[in-house]
Amino acid sequence: MHLLWEELRTAVPMIWHGDPYLLSIISFTAQVAAVATALATVIGVPIGLALALGRFPGRGVLRFLANASVALPPVLVGLALFMIFSPQGPLGSLQLNVTRRAIFIAQTILALPYTVALSAAAVQGLPRGLLEQARAFGAGRTQMAALALREARIGVVAAVIAALGTTLSEVGAIVIVGGNVYGYDQTLASAALFDANAARYAEAIATGIVLAALILILIGGLSLLQERGGGIRWRFRTAA
The count of C-alpha atoms lying within 13 angstroms of the C-alpha of 105, restricted to the half-sphere facing its C-beta, is 20
Residue 163 predicted with pLDDT over 90 = yes
Residue 214 predicted with pLDDT over 60 = yes
Give the tens place of pLDDT for each residue, 175-201: 999 999 998 999 999 999 999 999 888
Those residues whose C-beta lies under 8 Å from the C-beta of residue 85, and which sit 6 or more positions away, are: 91, 92, 94, 95, 96, 97, 102, 177
Residue 208 predicted with pLDDT over 80 = yes
CB-CB contact of 31 with 39 (8 Å): no
Residue 2 predicted with pLDDT over 70 = no
Residue 226 predicted with pLDDT over 70 = no
Averaged pLDDT for residues 10-21: 86
**Predicted model pTM:** 0.86
Residue 111 predicted with pLDDT over 50 = yes
Report which residue type is found at 135. R
More confident residue, 216 or 115: 115
Domains and CATH numbers, the chain: 2-229 (1.10.3720.10)
**Cβ count within 10 A of residue 149:** 18
Give a three-class secondary structure readout of the chain.
CHHHHHHHHHHHHHHHCCCHHHHHHHHHHHHHHHHHHHHHHHHHHHHHHHHHHCCCCCHHHHHHHHHHHCCCCHHHHHHHHHHHHCCCCCCHHHCCCCCHHHHHHHHHHHHHHHHHHHHHHHHHCCCHHHHHHHHHCCCCHHHHHHHHHHHCHHHHHHHHHHHHHHHHHCCHHHHHHHCCCCCCCCCHHHHHHHHHHCCCHHHHHHHHHHHHHHHHHHHHHHHHHHHHHCCCCCCCCCCC
For residue 234, what pLDDT is reported? 44
For residue 133, what pLDDT is reported? 75
Give the tens place of pLDDT for each residue, 39-75: 999 999 999 999 988 888 888 899 999 999 999 899 9
